[in-house]
Amino acid sequence: MNVLVLGSRVIGPELARELVQVFLKATFSGEERHRRRLAKVAALEDRAGRPEANERSRT
């Protein structure tokens, strides 16, 4: 899960387009630190009983 936030008063339209394109083309590196973060998010979802967590555990 990733979120991109751009301040309209700071970032112009052309730079915003470029940043969005780079953001959308980014790929998951699979580094251990990122896997740990994903595991933390999954654990939080499991504790919260969210439907997405239940679907993930079945696959």
User: How confident is the model at residue 49, as a pLDDT?
Assistant: 86
Q: Which residues form the domain of 40?
A: 13-58
User: How confident is the model at residue 2, as a pLDDT?
Assistant: 83
Region of residue 4 (left: phi > 0; alpha: psi -120 to 50; beta: else): beta
pLDDT digits (tens, 9 = 90+) for 2-58: 889 999 999 999 999 999 999 999 999 999 999 999 999 999 999 998 666 556 655
Q: Is residue 52 assigned to a domain?
A: yes
Q: Is residue 3 assigned to a domain?
A: no
pLDDT digits (tens, 9 = 90+) for 29-39: 999 999 999 99
Q: Is residue 5 assigned to a domain?
A: no
Q: How many domains does the chain have?
A: 1
In whole angstroms, give the CA distance from residue 23 to residue 36.
21
